[in-house]
Amino acid sequence: MRDPGRDVCGGAFAFPVLGDPAPGAPAPGGRAFLRSRGSGGAEKFLIGIVLVWFAVLVLFPLGAMVRGVIDAGFAESLRSLASPIAQHAFWLTLGITVISVVVNTFFGVILALVLARQKFAGKLLLNGVVDLPFSLSPVVAGFMFIILFGPNGWLGKWFEAGGIRVIFALPGMILATIFVTVPFVTREVVPVLQESGTEQEDAARTLGANGWQTFWRITIPSIRWGLGYGVCLTAARALGEFGAVLIVSGSVIGRTQTATSYIHQEFVDFHYAGAYAASLVLAVASFLMLVAMELMRKRVADRME
């Protein structure tokens, strides 16, 4: 069961878990809508709706995927996963994910610090632009990179002249993945920075810590859970990225094919065993990351405020 109330990472959710508050305790403001212990029919009905909705959206598809692997046979599934093409696709995805996470963590923290702490002209604009990859279709994002880095693109020309291939090659795939995962770290870290304020950092400085020491010993530890959450989201998104990377990679089997495009390939080729197995691997990876995150969060919530 999740801890009610406080969300260490995002700080955005403050809803008590149903049935958690003291019996009969009215919500502040008088009305106890959806807050009192769920003994009435209305509450049970609402809980029922949530469970059904959740099952249809999440549990059934997951079950179907597991079922698919079973139907295709474990041996066949494992064989597809062990194939050089699948192996290459997974390693490529892992590599791209690691690089994207590192880059976005680094710049994401800097960006968050700037957005949370600095005042400057154009801050509002920057604040909006950070969210652009959220709202922009990944396919459009990929297409932008083609225009920019393609052999005849503004920047592509220069790279081409220098003998560096960006589009239909690894650099373009990394760039596209970084682009679509830009907001996650920043968006998780900014509220944490704003909430923790600058007093602890001021205290560190009066105690003799220079800027570098203050950053590593105070700033980073106080944002670490938000940062961890942002990193997990970034990684999950990078692992699952399809559209933008598909456009810029060309999905060349054994060369620029990522795990998701491998799944797509297997699916359109009627190799369902491979598609199911690879999907399951990605799903399990995402699930494990979530579990890890929840465990960390719980431990911290128990110890700190």
Select from 26, 63, 73, 221 the one that contacts other proteins (CB under 8 A): 221
CA distance 226 to 11: 9
Select from 207, 252, 253, 292 the one that contacts other proteins (CB under 8 A): 207
CA distance 274 to 100: 26
* Nearest to other proteins of 219, 257 (CB atom): 219
- Determine, following the binding rule CB under 8 A, whether residue 11 of this chain makes contact with other proteins: no
Select from 200, 240, 272, 298 the one that contacts other proteins (CB under 8 A): 200
- Determine, following the binding rule CB under 8 A, whether residue 222 of this chain makes contact with other proteins: yes
Q: How far is the CB of 5 from other proteins (least distance, A)?
A: 15
**Which region among 12-20, 219-227, 242-250, 268-276 touches other proteins (by CB under 8 A)?**
219-227
Least Cα distance to 181 among 217, 232, 224 occurs for 232
- DSSP H helical segments within 6-59, as ranges? 41-54
Q: Binding-site residue total for other proteins (CB under 8 A)?
A: 21
- Determine, following the binding rule CB under 8 A, whether residue 196 of this chain makes contact with other proteins: yes
- Determine, following the binding rule CB under 8 A, whether residue 1 of this chain makes contact with other proteins: no
Q: Report which residue type is found at 71.
A: D
- Determine, following the binding rule CB under 8 A, whether residue 42 of this chain makes contact with other proteins: no
CA distance 142 to 71: 36
DSSP 153: S
CA distance 115 to 127: 7
**Which region among 98-106, 203-211, 229-237, 288-296 touches other proteins (by CB under 8 A)?**
203-211
What does the block give as tokens for 202? 């001021």
Least Cα distance to 93 among 237, 269, 275, 280 occurs for 237
CA distances from 187 to 37, 49, 134, 293 (A): 34, 31, 11, 17
Q: Report which residue type is found at 113.
A: L
- Determine, following the binding rule CB under 8 A, whether residue 213 of this chain makes contact with other proteins: yes
Q: How far is the CB of 296 from other proteins (least distance, A)?
A: 13
For residues 101 and 209, is the Cβ–Cβ distance under 8 A?
Answer: no
Handedness of CA 131, 135, 138, 140 (dihedral sign): negative
**Which region among 82-90, 153-161, 164-172, 205-213 touches other proteins (by CB under 8 A)?**
205-213
CA distance 280 to 239: 13
- Determine, following the binding rule CB under 8 A, whether residue 124 of this chain makes contact with other proteins: no
- Determine, following the binding rule CB under 8 A, whether residue 118 of this chain makes contact with other proteins: no
Q: Which residue has the tokens 């003998």?
A: 163
* Nearest to other proteins of 60, 216 (CB atom): 216
* Nearest to other proteins of 204, 293 (CB atom): 204
Select from 217, 269, 290, 291 the one that contacts other proteins (CB under 8 A): 217
- Determine, following the binding rule CB under 8 A, whether residue 224 of this chain makes contact with other proteins: yes
Interacting residue ranges for other proteins, rule: CB under 8 A? 196, 199-200, 202-210, 213, 217-218, 221-222, 224, 303-305
